[in-house]
Structure 1
Amino acid sequence: MHTEALDTPFLVVDACVLERNLAEGAERARRRGLAWRPHAKTHKSITVARRQLAHGATGLTLATVGEAEVFAAAGIDDLFLAYPVWAAGGRADRLRALAGRVRLRIGVDSAAGADRLAAALRGAPAQVLVEIDSGHHRTGVAPGDAGGLAAAARAAGLEVAGVFTFPGHAYAPGARTAVAADEVAALSAAAAGLAAAGIEPRVRSGGSSPTEGIAPDLPGRWAPTETRPGVSVFGDAQQVELDAIGFDRCALSAVATVVHARPGHAVLDAGSKTLGADRAPWATGYGRLPDHPEARVIALSEHHATVAFGDGPVPEPGSRVRVVPNHVCSAVNLADHLVVVEGGAAGDTVVDRWPVDARGANT
């Protein structure tokens, strides 16, 4: 089947680009001597996860208990919830059940959260990693406080395996190199704090897609041991605008039809319910058209995207175009399935459809 036979809009994955991204991601980790534990919240796909594992991933990173349940049910048995999960109510029972089925790590960033988690697990065999703030200022404790929190978690009855961070402040123009250095320094300081508290910080986990390809000078004893990139499996417009990748590494795009055209502008049938609505303050639009690099998505409504083409040619009504979403994780979570093609994402032979298995698994 050709993609022209499918009604728009839909999300399409170029299998060849995806395979190249997987191979390169695994190789980047190997070159740095890091375990590769990609974040599956991006793709939410059992099929993609199995491909990552086949390339050498040591396990998966996940954001929610619901996501972990989906992948555990598929037989993927080494999972890290990189989130300070508040283990109350039914979630406590779900976590305890997960810990009995898979090798499970869970993030903690407070003594209260550690106490709650210990009560929920009731001795089930899970490990915890202390989350530290390496500059993003979202969750996590200061690196200097990691040892004290680790000691509190141990006193609550938890097995502390190390520390982790998310260098999310890399999502800013020109910030990637400095943030990669922040990440390494924070992990090293936090690991030293755990060691001073008598806890071996054997896992020192970091990573983000903007910083994935940057290898700062590593401290000797407490260098990172693990990287957790997510977006780089597919790429997106934010990564392009941060100069982390080019359009040739964007494996996923939305295929849309031009439903209206006027001088300098076109309107597509893919709006926020297909592309997601994310737009960072520094982004130049709500998405990018890789075959029209001068174009910008300047406005979104639920089922329409307005594209400004500047001085470039405007596609005629009925034409199909590809749009790379700003934030691929949000776009994938809006789709029931991904259309998989070979031969290039714009014209091409449909070879499979992959369900978005963990779509909506947000609890």
Structure 2
Amino acid sequence: MTAREPDRLADLPTPSLVLDETRLDRNIATMAAFAAERGLALRPHVKTHKSVEIARRQVAAGAAGITVATISEAEIFAAAGFTDIFIAYPLWLDADKTARLRRLLEAHQHGADPLLIGVDSIEGAERAAQAAAGLLHRLAVLVEVDSGHHRSGVEADQAGTVAAAAVSVGLDVAGVFTFPGHSYSPEGRRSAAGDEGRELASAVAALAAAGVTARIVSGGSTPSAEFADAGVLTELRPGVYVFRDAQQWELGMSGPDDIALTVHATVVSQRRDHLITDAGSKVLGVDRGSFSTGFGRLLDHPDARITALSEHHATITQVDLPAGSRITVVPNHVCIAVNLADEYTVVRDGAVIGRWPVDARGANT
């Protein structure tokens, strides 16, 4: 940090993305201990933070590897030295992605774990095998299963068909994975984890019937992780746990003291029945779950609600503060807020201690 940079939160320009290092490290340690106690590997999803520094801390705390969403994220983390990477996405390998996947495989360290990618169709598996021709020993696939979120993924009883087709074209099928995204509801966390365990167990059986042993059985969102079936799963892939956010707060999973990432903003206008702050949709994102009570929360004013967003304005009700007041906003979906920022301002005990880049910002291809 240079002498010109602020060393007090009160001196930061707003809006700024602020990361509390103490809370971050505590969240990392808590999830690592949780997984270890249940005999589960932890492969955190780094699309949440997109930070090489944070991923290194997760691995140092015991994570077995990392999960990414895109080839471009994999490129950035591989270049930073990470070797155990899972692209948890049913890649459709066109010419551009084929060339980039091959470069990743060519650069993959000799003796390292194979690069893992997701498939959820026979066609996807065939294209993966063609893309990795001559480098298949550096690649393995996991078959994605729909466990109730109804996004991508095959029905569990069809996982064996996809796995057998993948084996027939020379791919190493390492196992199965799912994302229980329907856990994002106040009453859905436990039931989504139950769906996850049941469907993954069925998929493992389908692979076995096709002559394929599932070495990896991967699942787990942050809301459902607490209820994950350790008798079925071998690993968890939560992401948001490192920071927490307003969604986790409203799901009852986190209290204000758990939230490590916030946006520091300024009240720029005081109206009769609302305030306006300078953190709008270009900073907070616009995600709002069906259970959310607003577009984010105020860390120090839990009764306040963000009722509307435009690009550079947020409308806040149920709190009375004068113009010029500094406020601490908790985004609804922290993954979106991170992807909108260039860097984290890192603080410890209220003092600014440095800045970390959002290394994979915009790495969406």
Deviation at residue 282 of structure 1 after TM alignment: 2.1
2:263 to 246, 254, 258: 254
Which one-letter code corresponds to 1:354 in the other structure? W
3-state SS of 1:213 partner: helix
Q: Does 1:105 align with 2:116?
A: yes
Deviation at residue 197 of structure 1 after TM alignment: 0.9
Q: Does 1:173 align with 2:182?
A: no
Question: Residue in 1 aligned with 2:227?
Answer: 214
Q: How does 1:167-316 map to 2 (within 5 A)?
A: 167-216=180-229, 218-219=230-231, 223-309=232-318, 312=319, 314-316=320-322
Deviation at residue 215 of structure 1 after TM alignment: 4.1
3-state SS of 1:100 partner: helix
TM-score (ref. length: structure 2): 0.95
Question: Residue in 2 aligned with 1:353?
Answer: 355
Q: Retained in 2: the 8 A contact 1:10–1:255?
A: yes
Q: Does 1:136 align with 2:142?
A: no
Give the Cα separation in 2 of the matches to 1:291 and 1:12: 15
Q: Retained in 2: the 8 A contact 1:68–1:79?
A: yes
Deviation at residue 246 of structure 1 after TM alignment: 1.5
2:68 to 50, 62, 69: 62
1:330 to 324, 330, 336: 336
Deviations 1:192-238 (A, max 9, x none): 1111111110100001011122245x54xxx1000000011111111
Deviation at residue 249 of structure 1 after TM alignment: 1.2
Q: Retained in 2: the 8 A contact 1:37–1:61?
A: yes
Structure 1, unpaired ranges of 5+: none
Give the Cα separation in 1 of the matches to 2:208 and 2:246: 41
Give the Cα separation in 2 of the matches to 1:198 and 1:100: 29
3-state SS of 1:360 partner: coil
Give the Cα separation in 2 of the matches to 1:3 and 1:119: 53
Which one-letter code corresponds to 2:16 in the other structure? F
Give the Cα separation in 1 of the matches to 2:228 and 2:67: 21
Question: Residue in 2 aligned with 1:146?
Answer: 159
Which one-letter code corresponds to 1:224 in the other structure? L
Question: Residue in 2 aligned with 1:29?
Answer: 35
Q: Retained in 1: the 8 A contact 2:149–2:182?
A: yes
Give the Cα separation in 2 of the matches to 1:349 and 1:233: 20
Deviation at residue 50 of structure 1 after TM alignment: 0.5
Which one-letter code corresponds to 1:350 in the other structure? V
Give the Cα separation in 1 of the matches to 2:32 and 2:105: 27
Q: How does 1:17-96 map to 2 (within 5 A)?
A: 17-96=23-102
Deviation at residue 352 of structure 1 after TM alignment: 1.1
Q: Retained in 1: the 8 A contact 2:220–2:228?
A: no
Tell me whether 299-308 or 254-263 shows the greater mean CA deviation: 254-263
Q: Retained in 2: the 8 A contact 1:77–1:101?
A: no
Which one-letter code corresponds to 1:260 in the other structure? S
Q: Retained in 2: the 8 A contact 1:32–1:215?
A: no
Deviations 1:229-276 (A, max 9, x none): 001111111111111222211100000000011244211000000001
3-state SS of 2:227 partner: coil
Deviations 1:103-127 (A, max 9, x none): 3100000001111111111131100
Which segments of structure 1 move beyond 4 Å, counting only runs of 4 or more?
none
Deviation at residue 16 of structure 1 after TM alignment: 0.6
Question: Residue in 2 aligned with 1:120?
Answer: 131
Give the Cα separation in 2 of the matches to 1:184 and 1:151: 22
Question: Residue in 1 aligned with 2:3?
Answer: none
Deviations 1:261-318 (A, max 9, x none): 1244211000000001111122100000110000010000000100011xx4x11111
Q: Retained in 2: the 8 A contact 1:164–1:204?
A: yes
TM-score (ref. length: structure 1): 0.95
Give the Cα separation in 1 of the matches to 2:241 and 2:305: 22
Give the Cα separation in 2 of the matches to 1:250 and 1:162: 34
Identical-residue share of aligned pairs (%): 56
Give the Cα separation in 2 of the matches to 1:11 and 1:186: 38
Size of the aligned set, in residue pairs, is 352
1:317 to 275, 300, 323: 323
Structure 2, unpaired ranges of 5+: 1-6, 109-113
Deviation at residue 73 of structure 1 after TM alignment: 0.6
